[in-house]
Amino acid sequence: METINYPLIFSVALLALATPGPATLAIAGTSMASGRKYGLALACGILCGSLTWSIAAALGLATLMLTHAWVLEIVRYIGAAYLMFLALKSARAAFSAAEKQVNPIQVRSCSSAFRRGYALNLTNPKTILFFGSLYSVGVPSNSSFAELLPVIVMLGLMNAAAFLAYGWLFAVPTLRSGYARLHRWFNGLFAIVFGGIGLRLLTARLI
């Protein structure tokens, strides 16, 4: 009888979390520019986005989306457009002398930061592909949702630890003061990375 391959799932998820992406960049920029509470709120939104896709994959919705490729294509275009929008905002901030405290995702409250973090991860089709692949490789096809629940919890805890750690660490006073001095360079970097990921997402063949 096949069993869930926890070591494989853990190692692949750990590798993914260690690889910088738009979520990490958004948390870092928000914590440095706006402070820890906003960075942590955005991190919670990103975490909920990950949990949404994780549960969707566990319920088989990832397979359904792959079967109906047009759904994934819609999500892909929305995600790419959102990343390009963030890149444009960061580029404008990099060339603006007036704006000293600009972060990749503009926030005015913790609820706003949460919503934008959730939107960022929910519009990333590669997240659903990641969880879909992870469940299909590391989990037997006949597993019940009750058997998948520990996997969902484990992945959720790993994501929570990583995202909240980023939100906390990037609000360290030294990093915040460095951001205030070098905000143009930081926003230029955000523009390049967000734009590059968005363009790659727009032109990539997902399936």
Query: Is residue 142 one of the residues assigned to a domain?
Result: yes
Per-residue pLDDT tens over the stretch 31-61: 988 889 999 999 999 999 999 988 888 887 6
Grade residue 190 by pLDDT with cuts at 50, 70 and 90. confident
Query: Is residue 123 one of the residues assigned to a domain?
Result: yes
C-alpha to C-alpha distance for 39 and 103, rounded to whole angstroms: 10
Query: Is residue 1 one of the residues assigned to a domain?
Result: no
Q: Which residue has the higher pLDDT, 67 or 86?
A: 86
Query: Is residue 11 one of the residues assigned to a domain?
Result: yes
Report the domain count for the chain: 1
Query: Is residue 131 one of the residues assigned to a domain?
Result: yes
Query: Is residue 57 one of the residues assigned to a domain?
Result: yes
Structural domain harbouring 95: 6-203
C-alpha to C-alpha distance for 65 and 57, rounded to whole angstroms: 10
Average predicted confidence (pLDDT) for the chain: 79
Q: What's residue 175's pLDDT? A: 77
> In whole angstroms, how far apart are CA 118 and each of 53, 67, 83, 89, 157?
11, 25, 13, 19, 17
pTM of the complete model beyond 0.85:
no
Q: Which residue has the higher pLDDT, 199 or 117?
A: 117
